[in-house]
Amino acid sequence: MAFSKACFSFIVLIVLLSSTTSLAHPGFGWGGKGGPFGGGSSGLFPGFYQYSCPQANDIVMSVLRKAIAKDSRMAASLLRLHFHDCFVQVIHLSGGPNWELPLGRRDSKTASLSGSNNNIPAPNSTIQNLISLFKRQGLNDIDLVALSGGHTIGVARCVTFKQRLYNQNGNNQPDHTIEKNYFLDLKSVCPKTGGDSNISPLDLASPAKFDNTYFKLLLRGKGLLTSDEVLYTGEVGKTIQLVKRYAEDEGRFFEHFAKSMVNMGNISPLTGFNGEVRKNCRLVN
């Protein structure tokens, strides 16, 4: 899975200046004793801002609609940053599923670009690497395949898939799992020398629509990244069956994607008095 961070700061700035925060993680509470308005021991619940900022959701949705209308790639950029600060309604605005999440998660008082990138699989990951990385985060094979389906929107730079075209296994040969015509198309976008910043859609058929076409393309050898195609060609029965299932049943993909986004949001939560709700996303309070 490989996503771009470039366009997110503008959205977060407006969102956080509107007194909203990000996806919820269980375990956060006001001193570990629950929230001011109930919601259990975590202190997180969908109505977290109903008193302090009752228009929070409307404000965020308005900003996201404008941003995505201006640049459809914004949806994919925000999706990548789910680990940080974003409202998942961005998926709904791209035609995908919508779901309710508890709100009120604290922001970190520190930031680490390298630390964040270490939690995101490399574009040339093998299926074994992917399964292992997700397992370390407490996620399973369903989460892996469902969340990979987020590549139904967005683009990737040539540098992330060049290896597949020219030197997949260190023998100066392409990845034999790429469909022939797709391979030729990619070579025209991504030459052997130069062009590293050239881009190609992760889903060549419907790159701006959140749907299950990504999985249909994997069945045809048209996954852009190694980490995409190995879900089907990596000889792991569970992931192969999930790719087939999601290709056949978009509703099931949407259902599993929503659940897996919640699961991913529950990784390494800030709890108690750790973290803060920033007044300005660029600065610690």
Closest CA to 208 of 76, 27, 67: 76
Identify whether 84 is a catalytic site residue: yes
* Coil, strand or helix at 45: strand
Radius of gyration of the chain (CA): 19
Helix (H) or strand (E) holding 131: helix 127-136
Dig out the tokens for 194 from the structure: 């130069």
211 is in an annotated binding site: yes
> How many beta carbons lie within 10 A of that of residue 118, not counting itself?
10
Q: What gap in Å lies between CA 82 and CA 262, rounded to an integer?
A: 10
Q: What gap in Å lies between CA 67 and CA 144, rounded to an integer?
A: 28
Closest CA to 79 of 14, 153, 177, 167: 153
Q: What gap in Å lies between CA 141 and CA 163, rounded to an integer?
A: 25
Please identify which of the residues 84, 92, 176, 256 carries the catalytic annotation: 84
Classify residue 239 by burial, with Cβ atoms within 10 Å: 0-12, 13-18, 19+: buried
Q: What gap in Å lies between CA 48 and CA 60, rounded to an integer?
A: 15
Dig out the tokens for 79 from the structure: 């999706």
121 is in an annotated binding site: yes
Q: What gap in Å lies between CA 222 and CA 119, rounded to an integer?
A: 25
249 is in an annotated binding site: no
* CA dihedral (80, 82, 83, 86) positive or negative: positive
- DSSP code of 83? G
82 is in an annotated binding site: no
Residues making up the annotated binding site for substrate are 121
Catalogue the active-site residues: 84
